[in-house]
């Protein structure tokens, strides 16, 4: 198991890796580089890292592995800076959400690098260190794409580490990975941003759309709050696959538009039915995978003290509320209060407490 670990980029993923490696894998020494020193000072004061630098220095010498947790377009440059410092026995990995182009670049370095590409499919619209947490990777897929010449024991050790931080390791080719994530992650981000930009464009001076946007609209566009810098980088790193998936999506949109215009009720019905049936299969594919937000909705009367009663109930039973909100649109929600928790254990404990007090509770998948 790794004794000394280096982290380049101490944001949500880098910070969460530090915490998970320290507390779940027993890593003795963690060193980090970040462009902003205030983040590094905070992490060191919390005992998350042992030392830090504001550039790639000899501090990384002796690392068993270095995770590069920066925007995708910066990863290769940092890898080249590390090579003369850490040597080929040190594994260099990354957490970028595109792998193909990076994999091709790493191959040009030949035997001078031991590269294992990685992509933890975990995160949130919050992307800075202060949002990092030890359990971020629990039950989330962690893609592993090792270089051609990586010894099997190095890949096995990496896979074991991924498992120990609570993730589900999946070994896949970098090119298959990029086409898959273009469809299920990259293009959905583009579409979420498009929906938000379209509402902004269509809304009147009275901003009724902005006022009424809640429930389903907020859920489907939540990821549009992610880092613009990160998603610009991802978009151009996976340009070809994204364009291919966007072309397919355009065909789907044009087809439904044409059938609505032509009053083809059978097509429209089957359009929604097929989506419903396929979407429902996601809940049973891998139990608990991708459950990260641990949310519930609670149906309550709009009366003074309603929120206080529930929050005091949670507090008295040691349940931490990660986030809460008032749902102003019940069109697709079964409750007026929405709560998010740190873990599945806290969520289910809260559900039982509320149901024991005759509250109507919906567990959000």
Per-residue model confidence as pLDDT tens digits over 178-199: 999 999 889 999 999 999 999 9
Lowest mean pLDDT among 1-5, 36-40, 286-290, 317-321: 286-290
Note the pLDDT tens digit of each residue in 43-55: 999 999 999 999 9
Write down the pLDDT at residue 97: 86
Write down the pLDDT at residue 302: 66
Note the pLDDT tens digit of each residue in 267-297: 999 999 999 999 888 754 444 444 456 888 8
For 134, what's the count of Cα atoms within 13 Å in the CB-facing half-sphere?
A: 13
Write down the pLDDT at residue 300: 80
CA atoms of 114 and 116, how far apart (whole Å): 7
Can you list the pairs that 306-312 forms with residues at least 24 positions away whose Cβ atoms lie under 8 Å? 306/337, 307/337, 310/337, 310/339, 310/354, 310/359
Write down the pLDDT at residue 6: 98
Has residue 201 got a pLDDT over 50? yes
More confident residue, 45 or 229: 45
Q: Token digits for 233?
A: 């980088």
Cα angle 19, 22, 25; round to 5 = 120
Write down the pLDDT at residue 365: 66
DSSP state of 223: G
Has residue 86 got a pLDDT over 90? yes
pTM: 0.69
DSSP state of 27: -
Note the pLDDT tens digit of each residue in 148-182: 889 999 999 999 999 999 899 999 999 999 999 99
Q: Token digits for 17?
A: 């890796």
**Residue for token pair 């379209």:** 198
Cα angle 4, 149, 32; round to 5 = 25
């Amino acid at each position: 198991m790794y004794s000394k670990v280096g982290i380049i980029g101490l944001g949500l993923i880098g910070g969460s890796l530090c915490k998970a490696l320290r507390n779940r894998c027993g890593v003795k020494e963690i060193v980090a580089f970040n462009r902003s020193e205030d983040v590094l000072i905070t992490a060191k004061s919390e005992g998350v890292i042992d030392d830090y630098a504001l550039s790639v220095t000899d501090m990384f010498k002796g690392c068993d592995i270095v995770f590069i947790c920066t925007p995708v377009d910066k990863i290769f440059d940092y890898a080249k800076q590390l090579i003369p410092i850490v040597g080929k026995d040190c594994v260099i990995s990354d957490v970028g959400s595109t792998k193909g182009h990076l994999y091709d670049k790493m191959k040009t370095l030949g035997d001078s690098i031991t590269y294992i590409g990685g992509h933890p499919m975990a995160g949130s619209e919050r992307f800075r260190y202060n949002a990092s947490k030890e359990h971020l990777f629990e039950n989330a897929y962690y893609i592993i794409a090792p270089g051609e010449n990586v010894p099997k024991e190095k890949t096995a050790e990496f896979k074991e580490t991924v498992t120990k931080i609570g993730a589900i390791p999946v070994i896949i080719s970098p090119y298959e990975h990029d086409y898959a994530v273009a469809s299920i992650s990259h293009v959905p981000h583009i579409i979420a941003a498009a929906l938000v930009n379209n509402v902004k464009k269509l809304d009147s001076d009275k901003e009724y759309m902005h006022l009424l946007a809640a429930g389903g609209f907020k859920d489907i566009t939540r990821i549009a709050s992610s880092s613009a810098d990160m998603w610009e980088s991802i978009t151009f790193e996976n340009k070809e696959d994204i364009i291919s998936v966007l072309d397919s999506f355009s065909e789907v949109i044009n087809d439904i538009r044409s059938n609505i215009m032509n009053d083809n009720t059978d097509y429209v019905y089957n359009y929604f039915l097929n989506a419903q049936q396929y979407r429902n299969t996601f809940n049973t594919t891998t139990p608990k995978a991708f459950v990260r937000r641990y949310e519930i909705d609670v149906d309550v009367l709009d009366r003074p003290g309603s929120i206080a009663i529930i929050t005091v109930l949670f507090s008295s039973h040691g349940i931490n509320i990660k986030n809460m909100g008032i749902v102003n649109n019940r069109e697709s929600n079964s409750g007026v209060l929405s709560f998010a928790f740190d873990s599945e254990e806290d969520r289910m404990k809260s559900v039982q407490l509320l149901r024991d007090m005759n509250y109507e509770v919906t567990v959000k998948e």
